[in-house]
Chains A and B, each alone.
Chain A
Amino acid sequence: MPITIDRLILEANTADGPYGLDIPISKGLFILRVENTHGKSTCINSIAYALGMEMALGQQTSKPPFPPSLLKSIQNEKGTEKTVISSYVMLEISNDRGQTVTLKRNILGADSDSIITLYQSGINNISGNGNNLFLHKEGDTTRELGFYSWLAEFIDWDLPLVPNNSGKETPLYPALLFPLFFVEQKKGWGSIQATTPFHFQISQAKKRAFEFIMDLDVNDIVKKKAKNKKLLDNALEEWKLLYVQLENSAIRLGGKVNGVNATPSAKFEPYKLDILLEYQEKWQSLATALEGSRGELTLHILKNQPPTAQENNENRIKRIRELNSELLQKENKYESLSVELSFVQNQVEATQIRIENLVDDKRKYEDLKKVKSFQVLNDLPILNNECPTCGREYSDHSVELECSDELMTLEESLDFIKNQIATFKSVLHSYTTQLDIKTLELSNLESEIDHFAENISRLKQEVYSDSNVFDEEYLREKIKLENLVKNYEEALVNIADFRNEFDKLYVHYKELTRLRKGFPEHGFSTNDNKKLSALQKQVVKYLTEFGFSSFDPELLKISNDNYLPTREGFDLGFDTSASDGIRVIWSYLISLFSLRVTYKTNHPGILIFDEPRQQEANKLSFTGLLKGASQTSSTGQIIFATSEEEEILEKALEGCKYTLLSFSPTEGKILRKLE
């Protein structure tokens, strides 16, 4: 995993001959001391440029991050400007698998923005033309000849796919990782990962980069959660399907389902699953109805068969009248039931719409609650509804900013919505129960009406036909009862199967919900938590060592939401002085660097700092910070570019291991004419 930068060459060709520099860089703490404005940042930026990381220097375009001395004209010792014809950077790097390579990239010249040439040897042994790798084009992280794809392989990074703003997945570009081990001079000290580029459209790029560098399991856990959710959804879908089948069986018999719901509830007892039937004007279980029907059939058969067609027509006419009167009653009942049913249906629809709106509003309020915790909003007046011009508070209502009525707070609104949802859900439940019962009653009534109409029509026919026919009514009743008993018996067998199926599904569902409960709350594994708490401990330790004074470093926590140092859940923004802000960035990045010794992380074992330009009056001395860096750098490489006096550096680092390469101010700028 760790890589080392071994040598840097910068060269600009002019009509006067080549100008440039050649810097051997050693492992451990390497300090490059150059006067301000003498080429310090040019050297450091050229490392980023050779690694194809110019996008991660806080600039929006891929233009080379260099001064005119490498792009237009360079001054010679006498101060005369010489036009630059071409310029390039060469960087020799090696990894822990013993591979040493040289990267060459034009700064001024053909294909400077899209080609990096790779030589499979150190600078001294270069032979041949090398391989051209492309960058800043589609496929640069995935194809064999893509530079970032090669770089990831060289560092031994397995770049993950992460979600982008369009809802698709895209590889995690190395330029997003770079600000976690490279701090640029101008923008890099504004905050942690300040120069992370945005144009890749990756959602939460900084978080994703941190998770990868720390090799957190959180992504795996998120994936496992998603899989569990899918299985749960499937189980729910199966349950629903099974329920519909059961419901259909019940409807065929004119009954309703009991003991099981359309979705699995906390408890399920298979023996309670049943179909209730309206038998003798009461809702009774299928078994009871079957028993009753069998009894009715036996009684019917036992009854002596009445003499065939002996009744006279008068009796029949009397019966027709009775049936007509009953039919009229049933029809009236049917009409009033239809009106009631239509009213209940409307109520159900209206309540469902109301609940949908409430759930949507709840989701929005929950989103807003999360938004309120965003660090980026901490310093902005919009967070507290303050006018940025006059400081006056405005109402939390965009339609009426001057509204003087007291509005509910976020929490109160959420509680209010939750209560409303609960209320409307219970209203909906009551309406749907009514709807089910009324639908069933209506359908039963329909069959009864049909039955009456049929009987009337049949009796009318019998009145006017020959009377020597076999008593059809008796036979019809017998067949009806036989069919009923048969249907009930079949349904009883089916119910046993349903019980079995529901029970199996319920056990599976229970197991999945048990697994879901077992997932860590924030998605962090035990190992992740260990890493994060070790990082926190290390940052606090360094801050104490480096003289952090804005508040007690022990109060500092690493946020589980964005992995940045926070105090009591808030960003450090206003709580720290400018110099303490630099201490925080320094400590944080060095801690990330040092954690790779104790834990498995994806950190490349290299850390590069370009000292910030500071106001002379309140200048922060980096000498104290360097001591800490020296101790931890033995396992990798820390490169620090500074303009601090040489003697001060040597005095401060007495007894520490480091390599100092110092360019004296008397020798002028470091890009000099080459021999």
Chain B
Amino acid sequence: MDINDILNSPFTFTKRKNFNPCDTRPLWKSCLIVLILGLTGKEYSASLKKIHTANWIVKKDEHLISYMNWSGKDDRKRPNVRLEPAIDRVINLLVSNGIVTKSDGKITLTKTGCYLLDELGDDTIYVHEKNSLITAKKYLSEAAVKRLFEGI
């Protein structure tokens, strides 16, 4: 049956704009990386693997719990960390904006990055992410991250 017969009057379709979840927005992800470097990095610096791990941890509470249960010790409980390709793209954006620098496999906050980190210190924003990072901080050393990917 033809749709015109059913409606019996002229009509148009309007395509709604696409909705994307906030954590796919480059700026949101950028700020998360700045927080990862600022809160868990050594002297505001961290390896790419550590950033990926921290990004995975903040995604869900279950991830944080699973990471804390492993906490660099029990190889049987080693979590399966998913690497997100978007992270690499966002890091490149941050480098070209002068917020971080990349050298010797380390990503480090610049002075502008530190200013951004200071602004992100606002107690009302990224609250959940900050709490997860602070909880996991102790177990997020570069050595622990290396063990996470290579086994104990």
Asked whether A412 lies within 8 Å of B17 as measured between CB atoms, the reply is yes
Q: Does A406 contact B (CB under 8 A)?
A: yes
Q: Does A398 contact B (CB under 8 A)?
A: yes
Query: Chain B binding site: helix, strand, loop or mixed by DSSP?
Result: helix
Select A398's contact among B25, B97, B99, B131, beta carbons within 8 Å. Answer: B25
Q: Is the CB of B25 within 8 A of A368?
A: yes
Closest chain-B Cβ to A363's Cβ sits at a distance in Å of 7
- Is A367 interfacial (CB-CB < 8 Å)? yes
Minimal Cβ-Cβ distance residue in A for B88:
A398
Query: Once the chains are docked, how many angstroms separate the CA of A365 from the CA of B125?
Result: 10
- Asked if B25 and A396 make an inter-chain contact with CB atoms under 8 angstroms apart, the answer reads yes
Say which one of A45-53, A200-208, A308-316, A664-672 lies at the interface with B.
A200-208
Q: Is B98 an interface residue (CB 8 A)?
A: yes
Mask for A146-178, Cβ within 8 A of B = 1, else 0?
000000000000000001011100000000000
**A383 is an interface residue with CB less than 8 A from chain B:** yes
A376 near B116: Cβ-Cβ < 8 Å: yes
Q: Does A418 sit at the interface, judged by CB under 8 A?
A: no
Give complex CA distance A429, B40 in Å. Answer: 41
Does A408 touch B at the CB level, under 8 Å? yes
Interface string of A336-369 (1 = CB under 8 A from B): 0000000000000000000000001101111110
Report the Cα distance A377→B26, complex, angstroms.
13
Given A374-B119, A396-B20, A412-B17 in contact, is the A367-B125 Cβ separation under 8 Å? Answer: yes
Contact of B117 among A167, A198, A364, A397 (CB under 8 A): A198
Contact A382 to B17, CB < 8 A, known contacts A204-B121, A363-B128, A371-B120: no
Whether B83 is near chain A, meaning CB under 8 Å from some CB there, is no
> Which residues 376-425 of A sit at the B interface, judged by CB distance below 8 A?
376-377, 380-383, 385, 387-389, 394, 396-399, 401, 405-408, 412-413, 416
Nearest-neighbor residue (CB-CB) of A369 within chain B = B125
**B22 near A361 (CB under 8 angstroms)?**
yes
Q: Which of B95-152 contact A (CB under 8 A)?
A: 96-99, 112, 114-128, 130-131, 134, 137
| Contact A204-B119, Cβ < 8 Å, known A167-B134, A364-B23, A382-B97 | yes
Most buried by B among A202, A375, A380: A380
Q: Are B114 and A198 in contact (CB under 8 A)?
A: yes
State A382–B33 Cα separation when bound (angstroms).
Answer: 14
Complex Cα distance, B76 from A657, in Å, reads 78
Q: Kindly state the separation between the CA atoms of A412 and B17 in the bound complex, as whole angstroms.
A: 9
With CB as the reference atom, state the residue of chain A lying closest to B112: A376
A370 proximal to B (CB < 8 A):
yes
Please determine whether A399 and B86 come into contact, CB atoms closer than 8 angstroms.
yes
* Contact indicator B122/A388 (Cβ below 8 Å): no
Is B98 touching A380 in the complex (CB atoms < 8 A)? Answer: yes
Across the two chains, which residue of chain B brings its CB closest to A383? B27
A413 with B19: CB separation less than 8 A: yes
Measured CA separation A204–B134 after assembly (Å): 17
Say yes or no: B131 contacts A205, CB within 8 Å. Answer: no
Residue contact B28 to A371, C-beta cutoff 8 Å? yes
Q: How near does chain B come to A138, taking the closest CB pair, in angstroms?
A: 19
Which A residues are CB-close (under 8 A) to B28?
364, 367-368, 371
Is B124 touching A370 in the complex (CB atoms < 8 A)? yes
Pick the contact of A163: B23, B93, B123 (CB < 8 A). Answer: B123
Interface centre among B86, B93, B96 (most CB of A within 10 A): B93
B21 in the interface (beta carbon within 8 A): yes
User: What residues on A are CB-neighbors of B25 within 8 Å?
Assistant: 368, 396-398
Contact present for A167 and B130 (CB under 8 Å)? yes
Cβ distance B64 to chain A, nearest Cβ, rounded Å: 14
Bound complex: CA of A383 vs CA of B89, how far in Å? 16
Q: Which of B98, B122, B134 has the most CB of A within 10 A?
A: B122
Q: Decide: B97 and A381 in contact? CB cutoff 8 A.
A: yes
Tell me, yes or no, whether A372 is within 8 Å of chain B by CB. yes
A133 to B28, CA, bound (A): 45
Question: What is the size, in residues, of chain A's interface with B at 8 Å between Cβ atoms?
Answer: 48
Question: What chain A residues lie within 8 Å of B49 (beta carbons)?
Answer: none
Complex-state Cα separation, A562 to B122, whole angstroms: 11
Report Cα–Cα, A405/B16, bound state, in Å. 10
A-side contacts of B114, CB under 8 Å:
198
Is the pair A382, B26 in contact by a Cβ cutoff of 8 Å?
Answer: yes
* Least CB separation from B124: chain A residue: A370
- Bound-complex Cα distance A412 to B30 (A): 21
Q: Which residue of A lies closest to B86 (CB)?
A: A398
Contacts of A408 in B (CB 8 A): 17-20
Which residues from A are CB-within-8-Å of B126? 367
Does residue B24 face the partner (Cβ distance < 8 Å to A)?
A: yes
Question: B20–A376 contact, CB under 8 A?
Answer: no
**CB pair A365 B86 closer than 8 Å:** no
Judged by a CB distance under 8 angstroms, whether B39 is at the interface is yes
- Which chain B residues lie closer than 8 Å to A388 at the CB level? 96-97
Is the C-beta of B72 less than 8 angstroms from some C-beta in chain A?
A: no
A204 adjacent to B118 (CB under 8 Å): yes
Given contacts A406-B17, A407-B17, A407-B18, contact A382 B30 (CB under 8 A): yes
Chain A residues, CB < 8 A from B124: 370
Residue in B closest to A208 when the chains form the complex, CB atoms = B121
Contact across chains for A203 and B122 when beta carbons are under 8 A apart: yes
0/1 interface trace, chain A 549-580, chain B, CB 8 Å (1 if under): 00000000000001000000000000000000
Closest to B122 in A: A204
8 Å CB interface, B5-60 against A:
17-31, 38-39
Report the bound CA distance from A64 to B19 in whole Å.
54
6 more contacts with CB within 8 A, not counting A198-B117, A407-B19, are A167-B131, A364-B21, A367-B31, A368-B31, A396-B20, A397-B24
A: which residues have CB within 8 A of B?
163, 165-167, 196, 198, 202-206, 360-361, 363-368, 370-372, 374-377, 380-383, 385, 387-389, 394, 396-399, 401, 405-408, 412-413, 416, 562
Sample 13 A-B pairs with CB under 8 A, ordered by A number: A165-B134, A204-B118, A204-B119, A364-B23, A368-B25, A371-B27, A375-B119, A376-B116, A385-B27, A389-B96, A398-B25, A398-B86, A408-B19
